[in-house]
């Protein structure tokens, strides 16, 4: 995976270079996108290498236990009790 950042403006460049920047998904300065490292993307980067900064990017692995840990802080039994008390207050 590659993180591609637009560091120079395509204004005043050849139309093919402006279209390539747009095709990469870059819309404004310092805007970054992530693409797979494929020959097609490599060719597009080569065409506008003077306008972009390319760095390797590794996907951050999110732990599946993290959301469960948040739920563990408020047990389901307590939530039900809170709902009951709200209903009791309305009556």
Is residue 2 a contact partner of residue 34, using CB atoms and an 8 Å limit? yes
Gap between the Cα atoms of 57 and 53, Å rounded: 12
List the domain boundaries for the chain. Answer: 2-56
Handedness of CA 41, 43, 47, 51 (dihedral sign): positive
Q: Which CATH class is domain 2-56?
A: alpha beta
Check whether 70 has a pLDDT greater than 60.
no
Model pTM score: 0.62
Distance from chain centroid for Cα 32: 9
Instruction: Return the CA Rg of the chain.
Output: 24
**CB hemisphere CA count around 62 (13 angstroms):** 5
The pLDDT tens digits for 21-38 are 999 999 999 999 999 999
Q: Do strands 32-35 and 52-56 pair parallel, antiparallel, or not at all (unpaired)?
A: unpaired
Check whether 72 has a pLDDT greater than 80.
no
């Amino acid at each position: 995976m590659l993180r591609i950042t637009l560091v120079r403006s395509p204004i005043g460049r050849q139309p093919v270079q402006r279209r390539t920047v747009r095709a990469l998904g870059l819309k404004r300065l310092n805007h970054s996108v992530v693409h797979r490292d494929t020959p097609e993307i490599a060719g597009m980067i080569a065409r506008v290498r003077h306008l972009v900064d390319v760095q390797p990017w590794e996907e951050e692995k999110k732990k599946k236990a993290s959301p469960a840990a948040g739920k563990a802080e408020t047990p389901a039994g307590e939530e039900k009790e809170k709902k009951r008390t709200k209903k009791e207050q309305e009556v």
